[in-house]
Structure 1
């Protein structure tokens, strides 16, 4: 072999082709569908001689032409050696593809692969080669983005699919009967903001984008909005099939039911696990990310071109970690849906935060989500917040019940609950327990009893039946959920004698059989029966579901009246999701079967819900959760107090003493919302924009005057105490921003802040334009050197002092990296950087 790297690339490419079902020779599956470039003939003896290790011919490196079932050119595969980036062959492949009248190109060096639809846009990274059948089906879709952009989106966009002739029906034409007609036929009209979301996507398509992100608060109808997007793409024939990814099993059935109800007239929706044999006949395939991840099932079951549009529900969860591989496996349009704004974590100092802090993982997930969907500047394609929803009357805020017992007050304190006991050696010992240990290492039966008693005595009642309102309680663990369910049922039996038979509260966790169906029945108001009080009123007999995490993300049950946080929460995302279970509005008259009785209901509308908070979670996020500093959580301390028995072996500490309600404060959240809901409100931007003098100076282009004014009149004032350093942290960029950049962003002169690597790539592009290398293969080594010289003080010092031996132990850029740089560039790069590149902007 002339080049080992070419041989290695060839072996890998051959294997990938065979794994995807492409054939070099005729076999029982059909005729060969791989043709080598014109003038090259491959014989079986080539395989025998080289063991698939063939890569050259008299013409040079061999490329492939992949054929369809009729033997016509389908894909040009441009192969490069491992030493070259596959994109270096892009233009060569384009020319060859056009000559062969091929629409598709694969660019590969054996390790990195791109699939390129010449009619759609840029090459996209793939991790496996598409199958022949999949590409042939993919070819039936001819992209026409203009049809997406031109489609008219009005409030009845979905209704026209549900009931195309609704405008001519008597029930609609009669204004007095219209509301009843809409309810009876379950017609779903788009709200103003949902129309705006779809139009924002259309604008993004017009700009050539293929990735979109909708950041919409819980309860604002993300699934309905997604249905409108799906109809838009299917109707315009820009996609053939849609994959809808969810991150929880219980959401799979929910999404299937919703899409079937909204789009069944135009599109067939299936759940993959229920339609393994005929999913290709469907227009919308719903599945969980987890099921596809198991044993890399997605690679075995699907080809990268099987779906033209992939939608990720609760995007920052369903593409987190390894799940990202599933999402990136497919080519085409990508839409992410999330209720969690990136701003919640934008000031987190990742260099200092403890690894155990859940916010660190959330921050990475959120940042990764925004990058994945092309929103690196932190601005989604469309945003609609909880405060927007409350202000416009679509959502409601909670009434927070902050209740603390004597025990939880101590657990929440800096000292924690300090227990003194006799250890195994007979010596006196003490240990402090914080809120994190509750029901994990610290147990208190009386505290759980008090939680349940307070919850039942103060919860909101159903406005129709007067019984305890439907509720969800969030426990620490499955074991804790079992305890709480038993306590609630025992108390309900005493409060409501004979009404419930241990079916007042139901445990809904993964260990419980049929738990997923329980969540569905609770929504449908038939969990363990219906109409326990009024025969004509349909409401679930079970009143409380006790869960750990099953009913958080995406669970839609609008008649929830009480939420119980019987556990501490440290994750902003979890808090937002839990709180979101109650924010939907509801008219309880919808559950009455007797039409005449509806007129007698005094207060049919849900105007608030109660959020019972036994661990000061709301205070944590409202007051203590400092977005400018990393929160220091309570640590165990060694202070005296307590006379309870020793901890049970292997379990922790069980508090056997009494517990009393220390305090209970009820506070209704106003229209301004909670602090966590106001994080994206940019007070600095607003104050600067409102300033007449600053606005006039900006309009005149007098940036020095603007900067001087902000430094003198805006910064370091006691009302808001803005500082440049705080604004830099708020921007969440991995480099040092100038005040000029920040102000340019505020006034719209730049769309967002470039990351450090984006700036480095820009500077490198300028450098290469001035000093192009003789060989394209030298570019990676030069780029590596260029970036290292700018970023690393130690590399720069070694080069400037000519102490090249210091590079031998440099972890960022070592001696081998330096030797790979062409000699003339070893001096060209430092000279260029000193003259043209301001280093300060790259500092963290």
Structure 2
């Protein structure tokens, strides 16, 4: 321990280095494996306004103690010695809550306040530095608190995979992994993990498998999915460390020589007995099955694919999904049980791991007001259009109006022109026919981009091999093309499109499951690509589902005996989801598509039959526009005047709601949480030695100065921007403030060199802002470099660095001294 040191003069870092860490290490904590410093648990929520974004600042836990890297035990929060010993306790409790650890310590270097959740009789005690608990003491208390059985400890304490790059599971991934491993070690055999799209479900699954496999608790594992892209991405990326122990099941052949098997349902079973490849091995062959996107495929007990799970009934089965399926007909919870862990989209956005969104809602006149043909009007194909009012749900399903397609394409093109024409975009259309017409309209509106590369716009649907072949390029941030992907069902789920900046909805969506999956196409962050947020452009009022309590709520089992109209629509949408779009829609290349039975139509209407990337559900010839009753499925019309009658922009607010507000409104609301009054803000501004500190603090709360300037006007100091926007004070420009200082002849008390430097700094302030004069590096640039080097300027003009710093403080005081905004 450090002795003979005046602790009061030490920084927080010094307290950690000289007192806290020695106390911890002296009782046996291993510095290499059990002690981590500056543990950043969150990334900081992204706040978006206009075309600008900023991250909120998040603090790091000073010290986290681990039994093993996979098992955090305790949090230590340090403060400088000028503070009371328990000053950091509340902050530390927040970190401990995220990590779900029971031991929390706060210290100022004199001792520790020990918060022990395993001892409710005396929750907090003060202990000496030399009495810090040993690793064994905390581990034993932790095991007792968790109720671990001795025989399960080898599995529970097995390390996760370390790839040597420093990558470690995020706090929520670690919780999901640990809770799942613990439950399996205790004998639980049906588990459900609910994690929002983009939060690393597959990586989490890999770490679960790795720990169970390494501990030999599970020796043969099956990863089951319903799309090739899901299996291939998994094999190449997250599961790569399994190496030669891993295989992808192809050709309807299960090779027992491998331990880790990845497979499509379609490769394991079919309607004929000789296609049921899973029966090549005994029912107890697999110890563990991970079902990816378990809301699809085998979710329904009526599904032909459920037979695989039922055959391997003795295996532990873990369902992964961002959107558990809970309808009157289908229930993930009924099969797997309540989620063992849930990490929602809202949590992911608040933590800064997922991208927030803004919504551009566009209402088209014929959608809102309806369109009716004149008597016996003929469409483009010579068919008499049924006389009725066609509304938004009919558009591009039973009625195709060319001008509407053109308007949507033009609106998308205009928006891309503003945000960047090379911004990756996914457009969801009603069906393949709609997608192809949209592709053509966009191509015609972007001839220069198409001339550079004809893959600028591509239709990527289940029937089109060329488009499907470009899917990997679309999701690859290193590939510029395709830029715009027009689809119907193919890209609703399972497509890791990190770089997607615009999601366009021109599809009627009633299924909450499908809606959440589509929104998930944009929620991944890719900072290298400049992707911190994304836009949802909605032409079909689909984003009204954001207001539904089911959007980001806890999944609730609702399976009953009847089916409502709403749930019939939802079930139909999810049949469409499950049918989409692997290289061969039925799985492996050597599987005969004719051997797969088509689903029966859930329902038909007199005017339309819903279709997907494989055609219509009535199984009629996809080349015709007639159904079995000789009524037209779609009418094709042109020559209709179409216009957008409303456009509304909504932002993701800090409380998880979509709000329509200006950045001024957001700034007022945020400032009200920070400062009770104008006087309080003014006092903090005046008292601060560096104004940049306050500017940075407010920026970290999402006050984006550039966005505020766009709304209010250029040339204003942050101080004036706040006073004007929040407190309705008439502002002064930076130039006006600088001129007022010069009028007061303030510089005469300084020597010639100092006067010259301060006058030029004042001009820098007027041009750029207060942050410029607070940065001593400014002395390296013109016009200061003509006076001398920074050290020479400071010494010659001011007598030294302390005197220079004081002169800067006085200059700032003069800038804000007597010309603070006053009521009009």
Using the size of structure 2 for normalisation, the TM-score is: 0.49
- TM-score under structure 1 normalisation? 0.47
